[in-house]
Amino acid sequence: MSAQREMKEKNPWHTPLTIIITVIGVIAIVALVTVAVLQNRPVPQKYKYGIVLDAGSSHTALYIYEWPAEKDNNTGRVEQKHSCKVKGKGISSYAAEPEKAGMSLTECMREAEMQVPSRRHQETPLYLGATAGMRLLNIENREASDKVFEAVEKALQGFPFSYQGARILSGQEEGAFGWVTVNYLDDRLKQGLETTGALDLGGASTQISFVPHEYDISESPSNSVAFRLYGNDYNLYTHSFLCYGKDQVLRMALAHQTRSGPVTMSDPCFHPGYSVTRNYNALYDSPCVSERKPKEAPLNFTHTGVGNFFRCQEVVKTLFNFTSCKYSRCSFNGIFQPPLQGSFGAFSAYYFVMNFLNLTDSSIPLETVKANLANYCGTPWNQIKQQHPEVKEKYLAEYCFSGTYIVTLLTEGYNFTKETFSKIKFIKEIKGSDAGWTLGYMLNLTNMIPAEAPDSPPLPHAGYVSIVTVIALLLFILFILSLRPIWPKCSKKPQIV
Ligand SMILES: Nc1nc2c(ncn2[C@@H]2O[C@H](COP(=O)(O)OP(=O)(O)OP(=O)(O)O)[C@@H](O)[C@H]2O)c(=O)[nH]1
Ligand SMILES: [Ca+2]
């Protein structure tokens, strides 16, 4: 017993004063850290929403975006919350019955009503942007295009959102907003990193956008868009080729091969054994080919497949004009294009097609891509159908043509080489949001990307809490050490035996 008491007397930690100080100190630290954590705890998120309808040539899709409501100046990250594919074709296909264009949107709009909390409905902006399908209809029949917009507008105004209008985007806007989307989602803009180019392949047009290295804007001002985003300046090169989306380019390829008005046409871009009857009037019913219609054509022609990638490439190449260029350099059709720069994200049909063909992996060399395509195109149609019973026949029949077109457009059209081809990433989405022009369009119209970098707190939340904890602990240790003079003195020196 006396030994125990002696031990207690010797050990300063066992004096009542130190025990009280320690307990108070521990309570103080716990309280300090708890307050720091609670005070800075992210409050339960409330969101704001925005809706964009992408009225493409082949179909319309609705996208709902959401972002934290609390952030000042809407600087919180915008993400895709939901998307809805409108059933049926694009709005431009309703030229003869415009009301149906409006009605076609109802189902997806009802879904949007369910997805966005009802207390946010009135403040949620709703935009519709139409692309190449409506551009073509507008060229072909202005009145019909206006009627389609009227019908769509009427339908959209019947929903409780804040309707902001429906319009045709210019090709330049479509290309530039696709680039903004890709770089925003990759966090490249905020961090001022080197940007990624954007390649979009639609049904009726295709866009290429990238920031070139040292670039003379004055050479072709219509291909340049200047941005100031988060304090950085960007001089973007962008071009949209109308009629070079995959559906219209297929029309052009078929038109080229039926220019003499034959009854049967053998097509290297379709599989051996493939055979369908096509109508001449239907084929030439587009401003992309209408001028080429043969004078004396029968009603129909039989479209048969031969399945030869290299001959298909030759057909596709005839659709590009490389003969005239009034600039220092061109892509094709006399369009200025500065040298390619950096990496690229290729989305929409680039992705659908290359994904189907198992060619999205960037490590696959260009030569292997071509060899795989040659093998695929040469496979008999019956075998292809057997191998993919789940794929729509229309899509299935066209993958050989589309794959050949993609490779030819990238290499012959845009001048990607076997080295730079590997810099193309075929993507559908980035961090859960689809790649496409819609997000960039909404960010722009809602002023969600500031021109200057916003001031941010010097430390992130976790850093702040850690520093408070460490400082509190240091202060406490310092305090305990400062009490040393009043610790009871040891009466005896330890004996050395
Ligand atoms: N294989 C396949 N093709 C698709 C799919 N969805 C769309 N497509 C086709 O891919 C092409 C491009 O589609 P989108 O990017 O939606 O084109 P769009 O926006 O309607 O057309 P633009 O107005 O020119 O941009 C069209 O020929 C579509 O028919 C899909 O899931 N699989
Ligand atoms: Ca599109």
Query: Does the pLDDT of residue 281 top 70, yes or no?
Result: yes
Per-residue confidence (pLDDT) for residue 484, from 0 to 100:
67
The CA distance from 19 to 384, in Å, is 82
For residues 5 and 293, the model is more confident at 293
| 57 and 31 share one domain | no
Q: Is 192 annotated as a binding residue?
A: no
Confidence band, pLDDT 50/70/90 cuts, at residue 21: confident
348 three-class SS: strand
Tokens of 406: 């993609």
- Ligand 1 binding pocket includes 349 (Cβ within 6 Å): yes
155-182: buried (b, 16+ CB within 10 Å) or exposed (e) per residue?
Answer: bbeebebebbebebbebbbbbbbbbbbb
**What is the 178 CA–ligand 2 centroid distance (Å)?**
10
* Predicted local confidence at residue 12, as pLDDT: 60
State whether 92 and 187 are in the same domain. Answer: no
Query: Does one domain contain both 175 and 163?
Result: no
Residues 105-109 have a mean pLDDT of 98
Active site residue 174: yes
Can you tell me the distance from the alpha carbon of 210 to that of 198, in angstroms, rounded to the nearest whole number? 6
| 199 and 331 housed in the same domain | yes
| Side-chain half-sphere CA neighbours of 334 within 13 A | 4
Q: Are residues 330 and 417 in the same domain?
A: yes
- Residue 492 pLDDT exceeds 50: no
Residue 490 has pLDDT above 60, yes or no: no
Give the pTM. Answer: 0.87
Ligand 1 contact, 352 CB (< 6 A): yes
Q: Say whether 151 counts as a known binding-site residue.
A: no
Q: Is 205 in the pocket of ligand 1 (CB under 6 A)?
A: yes
Give the integer Cα–Cα distance in Å for 184 and 191: 10
Give the C-alpha distances (Å, rounded to integers) separating 458 from 38, 92, 230, 355, 455. Answer: 19, 51, 17, 43, 9
Domain boundary residue, one of 141, 168, 195: 168
Q: Are both 371 and 319 inside the same structural domain?
A: yes
**pLDDT tens, 314-361?**
999 999 999 999 999 999 999 999 999 999 999 999 999 999 999 999
Phi/psi of residue 382, nearest 5 degrees:
-60, -45
Ligand 1 within 6 A of 395 CB?
yes
Q: Do the domain assignments include residue 283? A: yes
* Reported confidence tier of residue 1, pLDDT bands at 50, 70, 90: very low
Judge if 155 and 256 occupy the same domain: no
Ramachandran bin of 141, using left for φ above 0, alpha for ψ from -120 to 50, beta for the remaining angles: beta
Task: Give the separation between CA 166 and CA 150, rounded to whole angstroms.
Answer: 9
- Nearest-CA residue for atom 29 of ligand 1: 58
Whole-complex ipTM: 0.99
Query: What per-residue confidence (pLDDT) applies to 497?
Result: 41
Contact 340, 420 (CB under 8 A): yes
**Domain match, 160 and 181 both:** no
Last residue within a domain, chosen from 168, 201, 232: 168
Same domain, 400 and 322: yes
Examine residue 445 and state whether it is found in any structural domain, yes or no. Answer: no
**pLDDT confidence tier of residue 456, bands split at 50, 70 and 90:** low
Nearest to 100 by CA among 66, 60, 71, 63: 60
Q: Does one domain contain both 131 and 224?
A: no
The strand pair at 60-68 and 162-168 is best described as: unpaired
Residue 296, domain CATH:
3.30.420.150
| Residues 194 and 153 placed together within one structural domain of the fold | no
pLDDT tens-digit profile of 419-437?
999 999 999 999 999 999 9
496 located within any domain: no
User: Is 401 a domain residue?
Assistant: yes
**267 SS3 class:** strand
Average pLDDT of the residues in 144-166: 98
Question: What's residue 487's pLDDT?
Answer: 59
Number of H helices, E strands in the chain: 16, 16
Q: Residue 75 and residue 446: Cα distance in Å, rounded?
A: 11
Write out the two tokens for 340: 């390619």
What is the band of 17 on the pLDDT scale with cuts at 50, 70, 90?
Answer: confident
Residue 6 lies in a domain: yes
207 is in an annotated binding site: yes
CA-nearest residue, atom 14 of ligand 1? 202
Residue 345 token pair: 């994200």
Domain count, the chain: 3
Find the ligand nearest to 398 CA. 1
For residue 403, what are the domain limits? Answer: 171-440
Within-domain flag for 491: no
Predicted confidence band of residue 213 (pLDDT cuts 50, 70, 90): very high
Counting from 1 in the atom list of ligand 1, the atom nearest the Cα of 205 is 24
Distance CA 243, CA 335 (A): 14
Token pair, residue 383, equals: 């075998």
Q: Determine, yes or no, domain membership for 450.
A: no
Taking every pair of Cα atoms in the chain, the longest distance, rounded to a whole number of angstroms, is: 123
Question: Do 284 and 408 sit in the same domain of this protein?
Answer: yes
Residues 446 and 162 sit within 8 Å (Cβ to Cβ): no
Determine, yes or no, domain membership for 238: yes
Q: What are phi and psi of 24, to 5 degrees?
A: -60, -40
Distance CA(218)–CA(232), nearest Å, equals 21
Ligand nearest the Cα atom of residue 177 = 2
Instruction: Among 153, 168, 183, give the residue marking a domain's end.
Output: 168
Mean pLDDT of the 251-271 span? 98
369/52 Cα distance (integer angstroms): 35
pLDDT band at 491 (very low <50, low <70, confident <90, very high): very low
Residue 131 CA to ligand 2 center (angstroms) comes to 7
Residue 245 CB less than 6 A away from ligand 1:
yes
